[in-house]
Amino acid sequence: MKNFLRDKLSLASKLRLKGAVFAPVVWALRLAGRAYNFAGRLAESAEANGVDLRRALDVRRRPGAEHAQAWGASDFLFLARAAADGPEALAPERPVTASIIIPVYNKVEFTFQCLRSLLREVNFKDAEVIVIDNASTDRTRELLSHFRGHVRVIGNEENRGFVDACNQGAEVARGRHLVFLNNDTAVLPGWLDALVETVERDPRAGAVGSLLIYPDGRIQEAGSVIWSNGQTYKYGWGRSTEDRRFTFAREVDYCSGASLLIRRELFEQLGGFDRRYAPAYYEDTDLCMGVRSLGHEVVYQPASRLYHYEGATAGTDPRAGFKRFQVVNHGKFYEKWRAVLAREHYAEDPSRAERAANRRWATQVLVVDDRTPTPDRDAGSARMLDLLRALKEWCHPVFVITSKHVWPEYERLLWKEGVETASALDLRRLLRERGFRAAVVSRPEVAEGVLRTIRRADPRVKVVFDTVDLHFVRLAREAKLTGDAALAREAERYRRLETRLARESDQVWFASSTDMDVMAREAPGVPSVVIPTIHRPRAAGPPFEEREHLLFVGNFRHRPNEDGVRFFIREVLPKVREELPGVELLLVGDGAPEEFSRLASEGVRALGYVPDVEPLFARARVFVAPIRFGAGIKGKIGEALAHAVPLVTTNVGSEGMSLRDGEEALIADTAEAFAAAVVRLYRDEELWRRLASHAHAHVERHFSPRVVGRLVNDSVRGLLGDLKEIRDAREGEDTPAATVL
């Protein structure tokens, strides 16, 4: 090839080939060189300002207080890559979910760390970044040229301040949500998603703010308080980010504009940031007051986290620079909101900060269980999470976990939902300090351990015993099926325990009417309510002809599930495969016995735990729930109904769900009848369509969040009586003139 190129090509062709081969290399080297030179200057600027860019930008570890500079090759290569691939990231005019608006004035090193963290976090297909350069005199313009494909830049000829710059950015923004962000920040993973998910999940949320963290890892702000004199208080300042008082989402007075999302329509309705506060300070406090005046909530969301170098851009001396406007604008803010502040806010008193920061808690309800809910792993957990969500509609639930084993990732899910959590070690303190009006204790073992503690701490607390399912019924059925005498004795022990707890409680919750009827015979006159599992109807999936195979979803550590599947594999599936040779049974769930994994040749596929089961429900033709013993309500059946996947189950499986054989499900108990029902449903498209249609309507009518949520809240409200009288008696003089509830 070398000889061919030398002998056959003309000089002109050789020169053109040389240009084609080496020009991109030269271009890349020049680009990297420019990035390297700029990176070096940026590092010098950062060092002069006491900023360790390498550590501050490494989101995998917390920045330290020390600032040992170490600018590496990755930094200038990052700049080169941002400049090279950027133009593809900025699509033509199109709507996006979120517009991130960043006003900047000098401090190029902070702007760099902010933008670099955003490039790791933001999906530019659904978000945009707008930078308003307030006539910076350092190398900010040069920096922004490296990000020109990722950010939209507005260049001002003079420093117009934070207020005007933010309003400028909002005018050109395309997002349905506006996110205002200081440039002296570095966002952490999940920062934007948590803000957006919060505002889109709750129509009451008008604005959402983040957890602000100092570079050394301490809390800078976890939502803020506005006192009745217009002064503000940074709740959580200097505390640990692991302190559970600051880890859950909640409604607050205001959140800092250093990281604040607001619905675009609300921002426009309020006329943007009020220019009376130009150039800066109190504009974010005022905006949040405006959001609340329109009937919306301001929410602090700790799942949205970022580092904030407070004072890096405006200074810290209230007598100099932009910082002096903090004092001036306080007076303007107080005059504007004087009446609301006097009526709805606490007098300034740092000793009452926790009360003020959480004063919008209406009634506090204690909820106790022995485990962190793992809703994607078992039906009981899904039910508990939905109970907490329902309670949160009108009160503040505090969830206490009695076991030592806590799943941190699932506890964070509760925090994100706005549920405060605590350990059993905190129970007595909480009972002393919080003034709970009701307590929901879940499962007999938990109720046995805490019911008397609650009664001794405060006899006024109304106690609800949530049985989940009647353990003695489940155990007695298993004992009868297996002939196990030990199980029969255990069933009798639970019968005595659950009956006693029911009599000692103010109200008892059952997952099914069957369980409630059983308890009515054991303990007549006990106030009882059926609280079933909540299920959300899904959109219709693929049609009959595009589906195949059988599906079972359940936690195999729950004995009724393991027994039912073993019965199906041994006695039912062989009969089904005689009629449907190619059909397979897909098993999904934690803790499946090893033997199930070895049955692939017999038409069984054990998939184990699957985080997202939606695709499996969408592909399955028939759901099977061969439950032979148990109690309560079967969450797996509710999920099949919610996904409109026609199912075959037993009489035990259908208990408490008001299912009609041939209308919402097929019901069979023997191996022969169960197999015949599966084959019939698998083949009969008309029957399949009827059951699918009826399933959706059945879930909406009996198990939807609206229906069950009303049951939960009416039950507790009815138990408490007149909530206004209760609140007035509890709060006494420890309230502002008219507490917002």
Structure-block tokens of residue 59: 């989101």
176-203 per-position pLDDT tens digit: 999 999 999 999 999 999 999 999 999 9
What percent of the chain is helix, strand and coil (3-state, nearest 5)?
50, 20, 35
Q: Is 376 within 8 Å of 691 (Cβ atoms)?
A: no
The secondary element (H helix, E strand) that includes residue 420 is: strand 420-423
Return the SS3 of 416: helix
How would you classify the pairing of strands 219-221 and 205-213?
antiparallel
Q: What is the mean pLDDT of the chain?
A: 85
Amino acid at 501: L
Q: pLDDT tier at 273 (50, 70, 90 boundaries)?
A: very high
pLDDT score of 302: 98
Over range 272-284, report the average pLDDT.
92
Over range 595-609, report the average pLDDT.
83
Question: Which residue stretches of 458-484 are H helix?
Answer: 471-482
CA distances for 465 relative to 446, 503, 687, 714, 734, angstroms = 9, 10, 41, 16, 31
Residue 461: what are its φ and ψ, rounded to 5°? -65, 130
For residues 518 and 537, what is the distance between their CA atoms, to the nearest angstrom? Answer: 30
Q: pLDDT tier at 359 (50, 70, 90 boundaries)?
A: low
Q: Quick one: what percent of the chain has pLDDT higher than 90?
A: 68
Q: Which candidate, 88, 114, 353, places its Cα nearest to that of 245?
A: 353
Q: pLDDT tier at 55 (50, 70, 90 boundaries)?
A: very low
| 3-state per-residue secondary structure call for 614-676 | HHHHHHCCEEEECCCCCCCCCHHHHHHHHCCCCEEECCCCCCCCCCCECCCEEECCCHHHHHH
Residue 52 has pLDDT above 60, yes or no: no
Q: Which candidate, 281, 264, 116, 280, places its Cα nearest to that of 183?
A: 116
- Give the sign of the dihedral formed by CA 547, CA 549, CA 550, CA 554: negative
Of 18-27, 217-226, 493-502, 680-689, the range with the lowest mean pLDDT is 18-27
Q: Radius of gyration (Cα) for the chain, nearest Å? A: 31
Contacts of 460 (CB under 8 A, 6+ apart): 437
Contacts of 286 (CB under 8 A, 6+ apart): 273, 274, 277, 333, 336, 337
Question: What's the topology of domain 78-357?
Answer: Spore Coat Polysaccharide Biosynthesis Protein SpsA; Chain A (3.90.550)
CATH architecture of the region 363-530 = 3-Layer(aba) Sandwich (3.40)
Burial status of residue 669 (CB atoms within 10 A of its CB: 0-12, 13-18, 19 or more): middle
Return the SS3 of 586: strand
Over range 669-683, report the average pLDDT.
97
The answer as to CATH 3.40.50.970 being correct for domain 544-702 is no
Q: pLDDT tier at 600 (50, 70, 90 boundaries)?
A: low
Residue 407 has pLDDT above 90, yes or no: no
- Measured N-to-C along each axis, helices 161-172 and 283-293 cross at an angle, to the nearest 10 degrees, of 50
512-561 per-position pLDDT tens digit: 999 999 999 999 999 999 999 989 998 888 999 999 999 999 989 899 99
Q: How many C-beta atoms lie closer than 10 Å to residue 548's C-beta? A: 14
| 3-state per-residue secondary structure call for 213-275 | ECCCCEEEECCEEECCCCCEEECCCCCECCCHHHCCCEECCECCCCEEEEEHHHHHHCCCCCH
Please work out, in degrees rounded to the nearest 5, the angle formed at the alpha carbon of residue 617 by the alpha carbons of 611 and 622: 140
The secondary element (H helix, E strand) that includes residue 391 is: helix 379-392
Amino acid at 259: S
Residue 637 has pLDDT above 60, yes or no: yes
pLDDT score of 54: 47
pLDDT score of 58: 44
pLDDT score of 519: 96
Q: Prior bond to 611 cis, omega within 30?
A: no
Amino acid at 211: L
Residue 228 has pLDDT above 80, yes or no: yes
Q: Please give the model's pTM, rounded to 2 decimal places.
A: 0.81
Residue 132 gets which letter from DSSP? E
Residue 118 has pLDDT above 50, yes or no: yes
454-507 per-position pLDDT tens digit: 999 999 999 999 999 999 999 999 999 999 999 999 999 999 999 999 999 999
Residue 730 has pLDDT above 70, yes or no: no
Contacts of 503 (CB under 8 A, 6+ apart): 523, 526
126-180 per-position pLDDT tens digit: 999 999 999 999 999 999 988 888 899 999 999 998 999 999 999 999 999 999 9
